[in-house]
A and B are shown apart, each in its own frame.
Chain A
Amino acid sequence: MSGHDSKYFSTTKKGEIPELKEELNSQYKDKKKDAVKKVIAAMTVGKDVSSLFTDVVNCMQTENLELKKLVYLYLINYAKSNPDLAILAVNTFVKDSQDPNPLIRALAVRTMGCIRVDKITEYLCDPLQRCLKDDDPYVRKTAAICVAKLYDINAELVEDRGFLDTLKDLISDNNPMVVANAVAALAEIQETSARPIFEITSQTLSKLLTALNECTEWGQVFILDALSTYKAADALEAENIVERVTPRLQHANCAVVLSAVKMILQQMELITSTDVVRNLCKKMAPPLVTLLSAEPELQYVALRNISLIVQKRPTILAHEIKVFFCKYNDPIYVKMEKLEIMIKLASDRNIDQVLLEFKEYATEVDVDFVRKAVRAIGRCAIKLERAAERCISVLLELIKVKVNYVVQEAIIVIKDIFRRYPNTYESIIATLCESLDTLDEPEAKASMIWIIGEYAERIDNADELLESFLESFPEEQAMVQLQLLTATVKLFLKKPTEGPQQMIQVVLNNATMETDNPDLRDRAYIYWRLLSTDPEAAKDVVLAEKPVISDDSNSLEPSLLDELLGNIATLSSVYHKLPEAFVSRAKLTFARPDDEEYPAAVETGNSESPSYEVDGAAATSSQSFTSHETARQPVPVAAAPTPSSAPASPPAPVPDLLGDLLGLDNALVPVDQPIAPSGPPLPVLLPSTTGQGLQISAQLVRRDGQVFYNLLLENNSQVVLDGFMIQFNKNTFGLAAAGPLQIPPLLPQDSARTLLPMVMFQNLSTGPPNTLLQVAVKNNQQPVWYFNDKISLHVFFSEDGRMERANFLETWKSLPDSNEVAKDLSSAIIHSIDSTVENFAATNVFFVAKRRNANKDILYMSAKGPRGIPFLIELTASVGAPGVKCAVKTPSLEMAPLLFDAMEALLK
């Protein structure tokens, strides 16, 4: 049985991908095309066919347009997952963008824009440039959009290549479609850019208005949207623009109509003549009404927009309230919106009609809609004083129907009516009290109790009514409990008889002893104290005159409304929210040191994206690559130090954790000695003149096989500086802080010294090695300080860099001569060989051998740099005379200049 089972592991079937691969490489064109179709089909249903990338790309150069389109489609999907291989497609794009067939040229430029791979964008600039100036308008219009896409990938490139200017030139193109697309592209670019890029001038204005009449419907939308941002110089110009745009109101496309409405509304702000405004309002009404005959979804969008328009200019649709009457088969979301607009349009003139409608709605079956209708009646009553009585009679009629939820809703709105018109309609309270038993919703209950409390003196049996509620006091919702409490107090103050006194005792007891709700308890205590100290004062407080309410539900702030009107026909006007509230689009900020924000340290935990992060982030970033749960815990960004014993008790876990995670157990940071022993003076990197009194001196040092940043901070300013943090920019050796900077608050004229443990290879920069170390230090009082330090290579020389003579010779021979470079260090000097050797040994440059040759001493030394790179060093010098020739042989030659720098520094 055994022995034969191996056959299950070897199969003759190749699987789909290899089969497709074979077919893609087929000799036959039709087979190849079929294969590409199969690949696209697989891609469409979600199978990963990215491994066929080169094979598909190889089919790209074909005469067959269909095949080409399919390959392009594939490219758009998978270029991102194969960014390196995407370069293979570049030549074909370049070729296709010069194809005699404009369709292919446009196809190429469109696809180029969709491939969002940084590496190939620069190759695509030339073809794009050509296509922007193409003879064929179809190619030009496609290229225009491509610029916007490219801007999204690499804004700088677009600006450097002058594409923005070309795009602006396209606004004067003789083809309206090109104009429309150029406008669309510019508008899109403007949205992501912080600088003004696209501003319509009076010249472009006339061109846009001309193009408006000729281009397609969506082109018109782009142009109208752009025009609505234009600020006309005066009323006359505004009138002229509006006149040119008005015909768009008759367009069949809702988007065009809405954009035209938006544009006209914006310009109307400037128009002073009331006649013109009235005329325009008249003209805008029919198209808006027409929008309501579309599908329900479109109706909803239209209604949301109309709701804004009506708030701004009710006159437009004042006579059209009938079109907002709900049809029985409208979807609920349309009905709700219509109700809202009906309330806004309701006036003394049409209120009878409207009330009739509302009453009708209140008898429908949909509970939510019925409630809203009842509430609408109440809101009309609050809005229109003269109609209030009619509204109340309708409400009473509805209460008589005795439908539970209608009654409850009616009571809620009647409470509001009482608050709007105090002491006017109390006669209906008796009717309300009849339905007391049916109330089961907290809001209705609370409203009813409020009414009873408020008008306790006019209700004979108010105490009885309240008592009936009190029985269930502990079970009630907080809302009801609060109202009960207040109503009872009111009752007691108005009728200080025995019954209410007992009640109040019960309620206060309940509300103070038996409840967990602090609001309720607090209120109860306040009443209790008021009542027990000064009942008269309590009367003044509790029974004080209340301000009259007005209906402001569902109405927007004027400033918000204006902004929303500027966004008509966008999602923003449907949500009634500003775009910023729901779209997160990173505006390109041109990094200035003083406005740079620190990203939240622990949450981001990504060392690659921003150059500067809080030092806590540097510490956690390394951890977030591990799956260690503990590493996820936020690391204290800065210790909370006390001035007296600050550096002595740093939060120890940080370096420990790091040590564990990074496998640096042997390099554990000695946290108990953060104060650096005073050595030679450190170089001043941030003089106090530039640092507003803060002076920073610092140097990289090596202690016990570990790299530290030796920092000295001196506070020469007049204020206490605290909350110090440090961050290192990407650098050649990927140096980063291994823990937070532990500096106590610095009193004026105080200084602090620290050894900041560093880790390597955390945030590596690319490019040739250099010694630049960019550091940012911030505190709570000052802006962020940036300064540059120089990395000296010798801090990385490790203790195990010693080489035996034979080993040295062998290594020397194994490296080709091309790996040897030499440099004359003119300012260096060797005073005595022994002391030099000793000095070198202290920095882990180990002496191997020496010889004399023609009055010169030749020293051979070895050192081991970062990542274990060996350096074989030969120093030639005459003792006591300045000038040392340094030759080095190393496998990584690009480090040699850094080594020379280090040697020069050591020999000074």
Chain B
Amino acid sequence: MGILFTRMLSSIFGNREARILVLGLDNAGKTTILYRLQMGEVVSTIPTIGFNVETVQYNNIKLQVWDLGGQTSIRPYWRCYFPNTQAIIYVVDSSDTDRLVIAKEEFHAILEEDELKGSVVLVYANKQDLPGALDDAAITEALELHKIKNRQWAIFKTSAIKGEGLFEGLDWYRTATPIYPSSCEKALMAMILIGAYLTLGFLALAVRLHVVFIAGSGDRGVREVSYFI
């Protein structure tokens, strides 16, 4: 009972980790973004064959960020990660204009997924530090973002190397998903729970006493009580 109660409490007070997927074609900069968000530094990466998962603490929100490999051979397995996802960060290499068409196709394929119907979409037009990188408007056009009607989305110009634009994106995410109860609501719910817990405890005690009392009066009584319970 005690454990249950702690869990209940922690589910209210403890910060739930939001689950975020970082998707995009290979060499878009997903892994670099992940570690830039997590550690604040640029790490040297190799192509991700599989996935990386890190917990990112930003201001007072905790995000469980999944960076999935973007190579063609691994893309089919993205769907294994779709359930329970609050947000998708779709990373586009803004300088790789040749593959924007593929990026668009993959992007819209993701949007079609049932399991991702409820998640918000954050597009990072990455690699802005490179010469010839398209700006956010051009990427919006290329990815046909305006076709998205049924969910919230936003696009940010980012450079994972310089660390620009990444946290702005997370800020937008926070405002877009007000799933966290305010502190006032939290307190109220906690009180209701504590009340319920105490009432239950008293009830249990009462029943137990009752049983002991009737148990003395013979077998029949005990059986009745067991029925009653």
Contacts and interface: CB of A to CB of B under 8 A. Distances in A.
Nearest to A59: B53
A88 interface: yes
A751 B46 CA distance: 62
B83 interface: yes
Contacts of B52: 61, 91, 95
B39 to A, nearest CB: 14
A747 interface: no
A61 B74 contact: no
A92 B80 contact: no
Nearest to B83: A25
Chain B interface residue count: which class? 10 to 19
Interface string A44-68: 0000000000100010010000000
Contact of B49 (A28, A58, A94): A94
Contact of A85 (B54, B69, B77, B84): B77
A90 interface: yes
A89 B49 CA distance: 8
Contact of B84 (A25, A95, A120): A25
Interface string A583-595: 0000000000000
A61 B54 CA distance: 8
A625 interface: no
B169 to A, nearest CB: 23
Given A88-B74, A91-B69, A54 B50 contact: no
Contacts, number: 45
B134 to A, nearest CB: 24
Nearest to A92: B50
B97 interface: no
Contacts of A120: 49
Contacts of B210: none
Contact of A91 (B17, B49, B84): B49
Interface in B39-57: 46, 48-54
A111 to B, nearest CB: 14
Interface string B21-62: 000000000000000000000000010111111100000000
A757 B81 CA distance: 50
B73 interface: yes
Nearest to A26: B84
Nearest to A95: B52
A61 B50 CA distance: 11
B53 A61 contact: yes
A835 interface: no
Interface in B62-81: 69, 73-74, 77, 80-81
B81 A91 contact: no
Interface in B144-197: none
Which one of B16, B49, B73, B84 has the greatest number of beta carbons of chain A within 10 Å?
B49
A27 interface: yes
Nearest to A55: B80
A91 B80 contact: no
A25 B17 CA distance: 12
Given A27-B16, A54-B80, A91 B48 contact: yes
Given A27-B16, A94-B46, A58 B53 contact: yes
A38 to B, nearest CB: 17
B49 A90 contact: yes
A85 B53 CA distance: 17
B53 A87 contact: no
Nearest to A61: B53
A123 interface: yes
Contacts of B53: 58, 61
Given A27-B16, A27-B17, A88 B50 contact: yes
A94 B31 CA distance: 14
A860 B174 CA distance: 62
Which one of B16, B80, B84 has the greatest number of beta carbons of chain A within 10 Å?
B80
Contacts of B7: 28
Which one of A25, A85, A88, A91 has the greatest number of beta carbons of chain B within 10 Å?
A91
B46 A87 contact: no
Contacts of A28: 7
A28 B80 CA distance: 19
A100 to B, nearest CB: 14
Contacts of B81: 54, 58
Judged by DSSP, the binding face of A is helix
A716 to B, nearest CB: 52
A120 B77 CA distance: 15
Contacts of A88: 50-51, 74, 77, 80
B49 A87 contact: yes
Nearest to A86: B50
A87 B80 contact: no
B17 A87 contact: no
A254 B127 CA distance: 65
A90 B83 contact: no
B77 A91 contact: no
B77 A54 contact: yes
Interface string A66-99: 0000000000000000001101111110110000
Nearest to B49: A90
A123 B80 contact: no
A34 to B, nearest CB: 12
Contacts of B83: 25
A114 B199 CA distance: 55
A87 B77 contact: yes
A877 B199 CA distance: 95
Given A25-B83, A54-B77, A54-B80, A87 B16 contact: no
A186 B7 CA distance: 54
Contacts of B50: 87-92
Contacts of B74: 87-88
A158 B34 CA distance: 34
Nearest to B76: A84
A58 B67 CA distance: 12
Interface string A92-113: 1011000000000000000000
Contacts of B84: 25
Nearest to A119: B73
Interface string A163-194: 00000000000000000000000000000000
A466 B17 CA distance: 99
Contacts of A94: 46, 49
Interface in B2-23: 7, 16-17
Nearest to B16: A27
Contacts of B73: 87
Nearest to A124: B49
A89 to B, nearest CB: 6
B15 to A, nearest CB: 10
Contacts of B49: 87, 90-91, 94, 120, 123
B51 A91 contact: yes
Nearest to A62: B53
A201 to B, nearest CB: 38
Nearest to A91: B50
Contacts of A91: 48-52, 69
A54 B80 CA distance: 7
A88 B46 CA distance: 15
A58 B51 CA distance: 8
A898 B74 CA distance: 31
Contacts of B54: 61
B8 to A, nearest CB: 12
Given A91-B51, A92-B50, 15 more contacts: A25-B83, A54-B77, A58-B80, A61-B54, A85-B77, A85-B80, A87-B50, A87-B73, A88-B50, A88-B74, A91-B52, A91-B69, A94-B46, A94-B49, A95-B52
18 contacts: A25-B84, A27-B17, A58-B51, A58-B53, A58-B81, A85-B80, A87-B49, A87-B74, A87-B77, A88-B74, A88-B80, A89-B50, A90-B50, A91-B48, A91-B52, A92-B50, A94-B46, A94-B49
Interface of A: 25, 27-28, 54, 58, 61, 84-85, 87-92, 94-95, 120, 123
Q: Which 10 A-B residue pairs are closest in the complex by CB-CB distance?
A: A91-B50, A90-B49, A54-B80, A88-B50, A90-B50, A61-B53, A91-B48, A91-B49, A123-B49, A88-B77
